[in-house]
A = this chain, B = another copy of it.
């Protein structure tokens, strides 16, 4: 009957995500997007939709990638405490790699407050990470590697918050050592 879409949608979303990630929603023009995606705007509007719909697809893609990472970590057979420390150290590495920071955090501050759909995606993402951490912390307590004085959920919430601040700190100070020290402090605190 008819023709198929020529471009690879997932690749295009990936490219668009990278642009939004760097420049933010309002800082990105449609030309920026179509240039990166290597498609014409008519194709974009024909398949994905307008700028805001594309943006939603992009943060969804971003949070999906993160979800997959967490799932992989959960399937590990190592002691929970080890997985936890590894996760924290990897988080620090990502921050101090000096890339574009975390797209979800940037989105939260730029559009999250005024956009229900974006907020819902971010909330979902945050809750998934929260569950991952909570169950990990709980397991580490059961295995005797972590003090069980505090509520695992509270510590999970707390880590996620702290982690966000590390991104801001690194943007402003570019001091990787500062982040590492805070990471060590956090692990020290939850251990005792």
Contacts and interface: CB of A to CB of B under 8 A. Distances in A.
Nearest to A162: B162
A77 interface: no
Contacts of A189: 189
Interface string A9-28: 00000000000000010110
Interface string A100-120: 110001101110110000010
A181 to B, nearest CB: 6
B181 A109 contact: no
Interface stretch (A38-46, A54-62, A132-140, A165-173): A165-173
A160 interface: yes
A101 to B, nearest CB: 7
B172 A157 contact: no
Interface of A: 24, 26-27, 100-101, 105-106, 108-110, 112-113, 119, 122-123, 126, 150, 154-155, 157-158, 160-169, 171-173, 178, 181-182, 185-186, 189
Given A24-B26, A157-B169, A161-B182, 9 more contacts: A27-B110, A101-B109, A106-B109, A106-B110, A113-B171, A157-B178, A160-B169, A161-B164, A161-B169
